[in-house]
Amino acid sequence: MSEVPSDSERISALQTRRVAFYEEVSRRIDLMGTNSGILMDTTYNEIVEFINAIKECATNDERRQIMRDNAARNPYRLLEKYDLIVNSDSTRILIFKQRGGSALDSCQIVVKFSSIFDVVRQIHEVEAGNDHPKSKTLHKRVSAKYGKSIPRWICELFPDFCSICVRSRHRSKPKAGHQPILTRGMNVRVQLDIIDYQSMPDGPFKYVLDYQDHGTKLCQLRPLAHKSQVAVAQALVEIFCIFGPPSILQVDNGREFSHAASKSRRVPIDEEVLFVMLRLLF
């Protein structure tokens, strides 16, 4: 039974996730520059201050002065794009400017860099039945609430930092029924077997070595007097000298195959071995 993590363990795991996520996001922002689509905290605060000042100014002269002071920031575009809501507890929330007639509860909130993790996590893990939506659905839900302030690449990245999503992604689905092995070409996979004819021997031969190419189904048969490792190896060398050795030689766990192929018995094929092999054949 797995132990349930304590509250402090859960908080520290969340903190580790948050740090790893922001490291990766910062790395990507550095690469993308101004194309990242993310509003950094300082810029966010400057926009909030600017719009607040415009809203609070009493005269047109005052307003013109503020616009002049912020000329470098393209003030008309900012006023066109953003708006400010002041809550009853006087906290200020930056939103995307709504078209006239839209309900206030349908507004899209602007998210700054430091809030991205909590906002996306809320939608990914807490809201909507804790169903861990993947990039496409996550982006759809996020952009419905926060508009373009959270770009698509953030939603594609976020599931990589969720342990539940990572775990479920690596689980391979079990396949029902028999799964045939598909082989293309000759000498890719060869099946080797020995058929026992001890009940009806032909002279000294009591076994037949069945060597079948899995791709082409070409079958080679060799009579064997014994089911020994030497006899099998000799028959195989003979076949390999005609067709070449296969990439995969598939056998059962019979002693005549497995013991002979053990590591301690492996011999590199040099001139001496070739000479012995040829002498065995001819």
| CB-nearer residue toward Zn ion: 46 or 125 | 125
Q: Min. distance of Cβ 189 from Zn ion in angstroms?
A: 40
| CB-nearer residue toward Zn ion: 121 or 189 | 121
* Span near Zn ion by CB under 5 A; candidates 29-37, 44-52, 130-138, 192-200: 130-138
Torsion angle (degrees, nearest 10) of CA 128, 131, 134, 138? 10
Q: What residue is closest to Zn ion based on CB? A: 162
Name the H helices within the chain.
7-32, 41-56, 60-69, 75-81, 116-121, 135-146, 152-157, 163-170, 229-243, 255-258, 271-281
Q: Min. distance of Cβ 125 from Zn ion in angstroms?
A: 6
DSSP assignment of 201-267 equals -BTTB-EEEEEEETTT--EEEEEES--SHHHHHHHHHHHHHHH---SEEE--S-HHHHTTTSGGG--
| CB-nearer residue toward Zn ion: 150 or 224 | 150
* Among the listed residues 17, 63, 132, 206, the single contact to Zn ion using CB under 5 A: 132
Mapping DSSP to helix (H, G, I), strand (E, B) and coil, where does residue 194 land?
strand
Site string for Zn ion, 60-89 (x = CB under 5 A): ------------------------------
Strand partners, 86: 92
Site string for Zn ion, 142-181 (x = CB under 5 A): --------------------x-xx----------------
CA distance 281 to 275: 10
| CB-nearer residue toward Zn ion: 62 or 127 | 127
CA distance 263 to 82: 72
Site for Zn ion in 198-217 (CB under 5 A): none
* Span near Zn ion by CB under 5 A; candidates 31-39, 127-135, 137-145, 173-181: 127-135
Query: How many residues lie near Zn ion (CB under 5 A)?
Result: 4
Binding residues for Zn ion, rule: CB under 5 A, are 132, 162, 164-165
